[in-house]
Structure 1
Amino acid sequence: MKARTFAIGSAAAVLALVGGTFAWTVARSGGDLADCLGGQVAGGAIGGPFELVDEAGATVTSEEVLTEPTLLYFGYTFCPDVCPLDTARNATALDLLAERGIEAQGVFVTVDPTRDTPEVLADFTDSFHPDIRGLSGTTEQVDAAAKAYKVYYQLHDDEDPDYYLVDHSNFTYLVLPERGFVDFFRADASPDAVAERTACVVDAVN
């Protein structure tokens, strides 16, 4: 995996909390996957269909993208700290899963579609892992996908048109084909933990 350095202005904390508490909670699938999932929480449904634009500039649907176990992440390429760290963690987890014979992929959905063109996303994702795919789209398309996954984000593009920052939640979602969202990982989850829980889920549904 190629290393890449990201620096932009003064670093700002990427928000995983809104007003000191989570703005949403998660309802997991449970049942046959209960032994694999993280801490028990409850709340509204997460996930749903989306339509975005891939790195080649083609419009794609969630059914076309989420064809194998997926580590789905919402962020942006100009992010000075959290996004590259989380993406590197996910890339390592994909390698650990591959060592176990599990085919999985990463998907990076930008919350900054103005700057994150398909070409910019391709360069960003390729620098981390060949099996991480970048998705952009119109503001409306990105808003719809973020809303489906209960992603919080706020652009500060009124501060600087070129070097603005974006506050956003930074969870990685585990999504399975046909089944949809099943779990999420916080930023402090290690690559081993992400791979272990993902493998447990994949084994449980096969």
Structure 2
Amino acid sequence: MDRTVAIIGAVVLAAVVAGGAVWVYQNGRNNQFAQCSSSTVASGAAAIGGPFELVREDGETVTDQDVFTKPTLLYFGYTFCPDVCPLDNTRNAEALDMIQSDGYDAQMAFITIDPERDTVEQVADFTSYIHDDMIGLTGSPEQVKAASQAYKTYYKKEENGDPEYYLVDHSTFTYLVLPEVGFVEFFKRDDSPQSIRETVECYADAAGYGSS
């Protein structure tokens, strides 16, 4: 991934997150999750997240409400990604195993930013390899773009690349989304499975999705 683009993307997202956090604090909604925040976001920042319509790995067209039925670790990437996507999602899967072992009902979701190659079959193969409780989502270029814009993610197809084996530069944040609440937190690449576990469980407890 181009480091300059990645840094710029991180700065842009940080600015958006900061703006959203200000809105949250002014609106007084931070109290519920204040003790859980590991970033500048205290609660569902209005600037990040929103409705989308995509195609699930089983071929069914679904909305965000169909997907986020439990605390969800959401990642935007692509199945042909040679390194970052498998590593990040394997890390998230390790965190999810810990969370589920602690009795929490949680899941992962993967939205491709490469709908040209990522068919429902391709996405299903990828998610089944990563984790049993991982939902794969694809769609038309327009549907994918709308979902990406809702979560303020960045992606760009490699110019003049091989038409079959091209790369896609993209942001690498993992988002925590709660049912009926929306986006509440994001995780960076250097966050450990243990820190993700602790943060997700804190938010789940605060939102009333405690362990069984």
TM-score, normalization by structure 2:
0.86
Structure 2's unaligned 5+ residue stretches are 25-29
Match of 2:117 in 1: 115
Correspondence for 2:185 among 183, 186, 205: 183
1:39-95 Cα offsets, whole Å, 9 max, x none, are 326986100000000101111000111100000000001111110010001111110
Correspondence for 2:79 among 60, 77, 80: 77
Match of 1:9 in 2: none
Q: Which has the higher helix share?
A: 2
Match of 2:90 in 1: 88
Pairing 1:61-72 to 2, within 5 Å after superposition: 61-72=63-74
Root-mean-square deviation over aligned CA pairs: 1.8
Match of 2:36 in 1: 36
Q: Is the 8 A contact 1:52 1:61 kept in 2?
A: yes
In 2: Cα distance, 1:157 partner to 1:118 partner: 25
Q: Give 1:101 shift.
A: 0.4
Q: Is the 8 A contact 1:17 1:169 kept in 2?
A: no
Residue 160 of structure 2 corresponds to residue 170 of structure 1: no
**AA of the residue aligned to 2:31:** G
Match of 2:27 in 1: none
Q: Give 1:34 shift.
A: 1.0
Structure 1's unaligned 5+ residue stretches are 1-11
Q: Name the CA shift for 1:82/1:13 in 2 (closer, same or farther; >3 Å).
A: farther
Q: Give 1:123 shift.
A: 0.5
1:146-200 Cα offsets, whole Å, 9 max, x none, are 0000001101153110111111100000000010000000011111111110000
In 1: Cα distance, 2:124 partner to 2:135 partner: 7
In 1: Cα distance, 2:94 partner to 2:125 partner: 18
Deviates more, 1:154-163 or 1:128-137: 154-163
Pairing 1:149-168 to 2, within 5 Å after superposition: 149-156=151-158, 158-168=160-170
Identity of aligned residues (%): 55
Match of 1:8 in 2: none
SS at match of 1:192: helix
Correspondence for 1:24 among 13, 21, 32: 13
Q: Is the 8 A contact 2:77 2:110 kept in 1?
A: yes
TM-score, normalization by structure 1:
0.89
1:8-48 Cα offsets, whole Å, 9 max, x none, are xxxx45753227x5122313553210110113269861000
1:116-149 Cα offsets, whole Å, 9 max, x none, are 1000011011101100111000000000000000
**AA of the residue aligned to 2:65:** E
Q: Name the CA shift for 1:155/1:180 in 2 (closer, same or farther; >3 Å).
A: same
| Aligned length in residues | 194
